[in-house]
């Protein structure tokens, strides 16, 4: 007969040591988006309705291009972290792993294409 304490039974079954990092990453990206989204709306609103040449000239300036690229990058990182939490909560088994991998690949691909497009437009 083995006499184990509750603590001894729980050793090795604890956290994966990444919860706090994930929590702070979500908080930091939320605060960054709190600043970036209004800046993006105001800078994008100025270019809205212009011709291709006017929009290209507008985004050739560094401030609108940087704001757009940062908003896309930080927004997709925040999206990735948020959807990962949803998948971890509602999808189980092997499908969970495939869904997380697919979602991470998709979000980084969208961020890369968006930032590339802003760079191409700015140059």
Per-residue pLDDT tens for 56-68? Answer: 999 999 999 999 9
Question: Domain 19-122 adopts which CATH fold?
Answer: 3 helical TM bundles of succinate and fumarate reductases (1.20.1300)
pTM to 2 decimals? 0.80
Q: Angle, to 10 degrees, between the axis of helix 52-59 and the axis of helix 19-47?
A: 130
Q: Cα separation of 80 and 89, whole Å?
A: 14
Please give the mean pLDDT across all residues of the chain: 89
Is the backbone of residue 92 left (phi > 0), alpha (psi -120 to 50) or beta?
Answer: beta
Delimit the domains of the chain by residue range: 19-122
Tokens of 89: 């909560």
**What is the pLDDT confidence band of residue 17, given thresholds at 50, 70 and 90?**
low
Q: Which of 18-22, 35-39, 69-73, 74-78 shows the lowest mean pLDDT across its residues?
A: 18-22
Per-residue pLDDT tens digits for 92-110: 999 999 999 999 999 999 9
CA 39 distance to own-chain centroid? 18
């Amino acid at each position: 007969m083995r006499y184990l304490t509750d603590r001894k039974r729980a050793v090795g079954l604890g956290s994966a040591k990444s919860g706090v990092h994930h929590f702070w990453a979500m908080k930091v990206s939320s605060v960054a988006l709190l600043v970036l989204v209004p800046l993006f709306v105001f800078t994008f609103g100025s270019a809205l309705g212009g011709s291709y040449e006017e929009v290209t000239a507008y985004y050739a300036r560094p401030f609108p291009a940087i704001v757009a690229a940062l908003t896309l990058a930080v927004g997709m990182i925040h999206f990735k972290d948020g959807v990962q939490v949803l998948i971890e909560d509602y999808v189980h088994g092997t499908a969970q792993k495939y869904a997380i991998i697919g979602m991470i690949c998709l979000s980084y691909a969208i961020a890369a294409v968006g930032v590339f497009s802003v760079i191409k437009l700015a140059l």
